[in-house]
Chain A
């Protein structure tokens, strides 16, 4: 049984919920997006695609093809030079700072490195996720948080299997555990869409597979839309409904995952 098939079994059936069953509401729409750095040749050129509600879409491509730039442009963490980004129905390219915050609050983002606050406990880091929907000092640290927020944070930690590590400082956790805390923080946001930029790239293969399996299972169980980039072609095929491939800053592939295989995707890296 190949890895993709094994993953299918673990996830309980076909690779993911069939996109045909998903609603056709567009949760993410990118149109003619272009981005270059310091006047150099564009990293991204005229990128256009849509992701529908409930869909899981993987983004693959060699280093330097603009995967991280594209992921960050989706939330305007990097400003695109031209083109449109519509997420959850809001065109974010012209939004005010406050309106942009409101849109970002509904989109979880998992980074390649977990990006947790190192001296804080896992619980405090998850409580930070509540800043998406609650303002003020009570979301700055678990000791200041309300009972309801603390309980929700514990629930999110429980979802990622780390409730017993709630008071442990995150700089004392393993890479896989840290990334799971980052997932719990994103879930604490109560997001409607989840973006992930190579979420398991910094983990060893075993931890990477465990985290990826947990991550996608949680996303699917909550009915969220997922857009993630990955260098693991098996992960891209096994955990997504659709695959986008970047080459030379343009979309060179946009197809259903079950019609792809590792060898065909390797062509993107030539």
Chain B
């Protein structure tokens, strides 16, 4: 037991230190602050508004556990008809799968190439002026915020149906993704080598190509491989709006209730995305 007369400056007994005496008297000093901060009025209103919007949105999205449970037999029907997958159109599916990856690969490579100059103009440490930086960042933001499916619709109008429209959509989407990360990577690298080259009278181009790009290269490659993974997944669905790739094959199979064919396509997509992710992950490990 602790002697209640012990003051704040006294030693705590060993039993107190290990918590053996749960009913010890406080040793004085200031009271600990409350465990939680009481929200201010505006913060409180924001919490209530967010909660209210979530509840309204549940209704807006027709969220229903009953519908979900009632839908399970439909899923079982689909799966029973989908398996075993049909190899009737294996050849067409293979070509469509190749086209899908070609779209992803070409779109990503073109997007990465175009991202580089844009990222240089957008990087705080490299841009020639704030106006140019603002312009470059706006283009990148536009490419990033408009979804790839919308870009595909626009390019279908521009160049017609087919894989070229999808490839262009992937290219723009890649610019939005890569240019931003490239710019950030260049801003974050060690400024020392750049300062050394500036000190020896190098031009801006020399500094960028001799010091900035080599230092940021691992990050560029890492980001580009992520972009390729992302593009492979995107290229699958662009076919739904006629922009080439395996998506259109999937849509036709589903519309015709050919679920066994659809299963083949879905499994092919799964294998393609998995393969790209594995190879990309292996390359990243080797480079980093």
A: which residues have CB within 8 A of B?
75, 77, 101-109, 111, 113, 115-120, 128-129, 131-132, 135, 137, 139-141, 182, 185-186, 189
Contacts and interface: CB of A to CB of B under 8 A. Distances in A.
Contact of B201 (A102, A113, A115, A117): A102
B206 A115 contact: no
B211 interface: yes
B193 A104 contact: no
Contact of A104 (B190, B201, B206, B218): B201
Contacts of B218: 119
Interface of B: 190, 192-193, 195-203, 206, 209-211, 214-215, 217-218
A119 B192 contact: no
5 cross-chain pairs, A with B, having the tightest CB-CB distances, nearest first: A105-B201, A115-B192, A115-B196, A104-B201, A131-B202
Nearest to A116: B193
B126 to A, nearest CB: 15
17 contacts: A104-B200, A104-B201, A111-B192, A111-B195, A115-B193, A117-B211, A117-B214, A119-B217, A120-B214, A128-B206, A128-B210, A131-B197, A131-B200, A131-B206, A132-B201, A186-B200, A189-B200
A107 B214 CA distance: 25
A104 B196 contact: no
A128 B196 CA distance: 10
B210 A140 contact: yes
Contact of B193 (A117, A131, A139): A117
B200 A117 contact: no
A109 B199 contact: yes
Given A115-B195, A116-B193, A117-B193, A132 B200 contact: yes
Most buried by B among A109, A111, A117, A139: A117
A119 B210 CA distance: 11
Contacts of A135: 203, 206
Contacts of B195: 77, 111, 115
B203 A131 contact: yes
A101 B201 contact: yes
Contacts of A105: 200-201
Given A77-B195, A109-B200, A115-B196, A131 B210 contact: yes
B31 to A, nearest CB: 40
A124 to B, nearest CB: 8
Contacts of B215: 117-119
B198 A77 contact: yes
B202 A128 contact: yes
B145 to A, nearest CB: 34
A139 B217 CA distance: 19
Nearest to B216: A119
A105 B198 CA distance: 9
B199 A77 contact: yes
Contacts of B217: 119
A119 B214 contact: yes
B209 A137 contact: yes
B109 to A, nearest CB: 22
Contacts of A137: 209
Nearest to B213: A140
Given A113-B192, A117-B214, A128 B197 contact: yes
B200 A108 contact: yes
Contacts of B211: 117, 128
Nearest to A109: B199
A199 B130 CA distance: 35
B198 A104 contact: yes
Contacts of B214: 117, 119-120
A105 to B, nearest CB: 3
Contact of A116 (B196, B198, B199, B201): B196
A191 to B, nearest CB: 8
A104 B206 CA distance: 14
Contacts of B192: 111, 113, 115
| Most chain B Cβ neighbours within 10 Å, of A131, A132, A189 | A131
Nearest to B209: A140
Contacts of B193: 115-118
Contact of A139 (B190, B196, B198, B210): B210
